[in-house]
Structure 1
């Protein structure tokens, strides 16, 4: 697959971060270096982006209760399987079962569900969102955390205080599992995360734009 310049910058940096993190604390199985977070309003056709992600990447499908969640989830599952990309479903474990996803991503408010999910589906990849030191310290039974927003971001993170690279490092140091960087990451600023301790990067708009059909 030939990547655009922006896609190449994001993927190269993401894989470099993943390699550095794995050298310190190997994850089994290895974590996706890059996660594409979907959003019904911002990513209306997420399966198109998913189909163009590099093998080994991941998609976090957040339906937010949309009426077409099952249909979209099945289209994403078909696209991700064909591309060699892992699929996680946001919060809804039943939907994850129905679309035969590879795991679940938990919002900060639902991190306590990780214990039951890890017991119910030990084969699943479990990630969770965290935005504060308290949430990071209390997170358990996860394969990885997603810390945000690192840079000024849109969507639900638009009104959250920005961590910055140093703030991300401080939060990641408190985590008992690897941590992804999310929020405002683009091809222009992703290199600033080198040496931050991030195990990879995550994004919405930048990933959709870079890996467009």
Structure 2
């Protein structure tokens, strides 16, 4: 991936294995009201995955700029849900989605498509509000699938600090689990 240049944000190193954060906050419509506070509570060197699919394009980009400015002030990587070209135009450190800098997978078959990515979010490890009643991997199946990954795995799905400690996995991401919801 080429370096990202933007009139709104300084050039950044592209996301890579060497710069892959261990902790990721994922934006969503349900945590939007607390994102500024959540980002400020994240440790330096962590990451933000900006989704915000619920916003119209112009509003989505404006919100991205505002949150990216706060995240960069904390030394965080900022990844945009979308394709690599959009991520470059917006000044993100990478793209999130299938076959992007940060790939997604829900099974061993999908995990194989992550080759060449900086990392892959494997989910759902535990029950989530995003998919109530949905099938989960569970800790054992998660570990079995993750062990076959060609790239570093980020645990996602029902994750919070307590579950991350219990899972003893070095990289994890959350929406609710890292957002002060009150």
C-alpha change, 1:94 and 1:73, in structure 2 (3 Å) is: farther
Aligned positions of 1:143-158 closer than 5 A: 143-155=118-130, 157-158=131-132
Question: CA deviation digits over 1:142-192, x for unaligned, max 9?
Answer: 01111111111111x334311111011011012101101111112332222
Q: Tell me the residue number matched to 2:108.
A: 133
SS of residue paired to 1:188: helix
C-alpha change, 1:95 and 1:76, in structure 2 (3 Å) is: farther
| Contact persistence 1:129–1:145 (CA under 8 A) | yes
Q: CA RMSD in A?
A: 2.1
Q: Tell me the residue number matched to 1:63.
A: 52
Gaps of 5+ in 1: 1-26, 115-125
CA distance in 2, matches of 1:175, 1:158: 26
Aligned positions of 1:159-178 closer than 5 A: 159-178=133-152
Q: Tell me the residue number matched to 2:180.
A: 209
Question: CA deviation digits over 1:28-83, x for unaligned, max 9?
Answer: 42320100011123333523322331110000000216221111110011101111
CA distance in 2, matches of 1:56, 1:30: 9
Q: Tell me the residue number matched to 2:9.
A: none
| Contact persistence 2:80–2:92 (CA under 8 A) | yes
TM-score calculated relative to the size of structure 2: 0.81
C-alpha change, 1:45 and 1:186, in structure 2 (3 Å) is: closer
Equivalent residue pairs, number: 165
- Which of 44, 52, 55 pairs up with 2:33? 44
CA distance in 2, matches of 1:62, 1:43: 10
CA distance in 1, matches of 2:47, 2:60: 18
SS of residue paired to 1:43: helix
CA distance in 1, matches of 2:47, 2:113: 25
Q: Tell me the residue number matched to 1:96.
A: 87
| Contact persistence 2:26–2:174 (CA under 8 A) | yes
| Larger relative contact order (Cα-Cα within 8 Å, sequence gap ≥ 6) | 1
CA distance in 2, matches of 1:174, 1:28: 17
Greater fraction of residues in helix:
1
Question: CA deviation digits over 1:92-144, x for unaligned, max 9?
Answer: 434422331111111xxx32xx4xxxxxxxxxxx1111001110123221011
| Contact persistence 2:79–2:96 (CA under 8 A) | yes
